[in-house]
Structure 1
Amino acid sequence: MLEIRDLHVSYGKVEAVRGVSASAAPGRITLVLGANGAGKSTTLRTVAGLVPAVSGEVVLDGKVITGRPGHTIVRDGLVLVPEGRRVFAPLTVEENLLLGGYVAPRAKSAETLDRVYEMFPILAQRRRGAAGLLSGGEQQMLAFGRALMSSPRVMLMDEPSMGLAPAMVESVFGAVREIADAGIALLVVEQNAELGLEIADDVVVVARGEVVFSGEAEQARSDASVVRAFLGEAALSQ
Structure 2
Amino acid sequence: MLEIADLHVRYATAEAVRGVSLSATPGRVTLVLGANGAGKTSTLRAAAGLVRVHAGRVALDGRDVTGLPPHRLVRAGVVLVPEGRRVFAPLTVEENLVLGGYTASRERSREVLDRVHAMFPILRERRSGPAGLLSGGEQQMLAFGRALMSSPRVVMLDEPSMGLAPTMVESVLGAVRAMADDGLSVLLVEQNAELGLEVADDVVAMARGEVVFSGPAAQARSHASVLRAFLGEAALVE
Q: State whether TM-score is above 0.5.
A: yes
**Which residues of structure 1 form unaligned runs of 5+?**
none
Q: Is the Cα contact below 8 Å between 1:81 and 1:157 reproduced in 2?
A: yes
Describe the shift of the 1:102–1:66 C-alpha distance in structure 2 as closer, same or farther (beyond 3 A).
Answer: same
Q: Aligned-residue CA RMSD in angstroms?
A: 1.4
Provide the residue aligned with 1:47 in structure 2: 47
Distance in 2 between residues matched to 1:36 and 1:234, nearest whole Å = 16
TM-score (norm 2): 0.96
Q: Is the Cα contact below 8 Å between 1:32 and 1:188 reproduced in 2?
A: yes
Instruction: Give the residue type in structure 2 aligned to 1:123.
Output: L
Distance in 2 between residues matched to 1:199 and 1:221, nearest whole Å = 13
Distance in 2 between residues matched to 1:70 and 1:199, nearest whole Å = 27
Shift of 1:228: 5.2
Aligned-partner SS, 1:17: strand
1:110-152 per-position Cα deviation (integer Å, ceiling 9, x unaligned): 0000000000000000000000000000000000000000000
Shift of 1:105: 1.2
| Superposition map of 1:69-108 within 5 A | 69-108=69-108
Instruction: Give the residue type in structure 1 aligned to 2:127.
Output: R
Shift of 1:15: 0.5
| Superposition map of 1:192-207 within 5 A | 192-207=192-207
Q: Is the Cα contact below 8 Å between 1:89 and 1:132 reproduced in 2?
A: yes
Identity %: 73
Provide the residue aligned with 1:28 in structure 2: 28
| Superposition map of 1:154-169 within 5 A | 154-169=154-169
Provide the residue aligned with 2:124 in structure 1: 124
Distance in 2 between residues matched to 1:56 and 1:229, nearest whole Å = 23
Q: Is the Cα contact below 8 Å between 2:35 and 2:231 reproduced in 1?
A: no
1:47-80 per-position Cα deviation (integer Å, ceiling 9, x unaligned): 0001010010000011110011100000000000
Moved over 3 A (4+): 227-237
Identify which range, 222-231 or 99-108, moves more after superposition: 222-231
**Which residues of structure 2 form unaligned runs of 5+?**
none
Question: In the alignment, is residue 191 of structure 1 matched against residue 217 of structure 2?
Answer: no
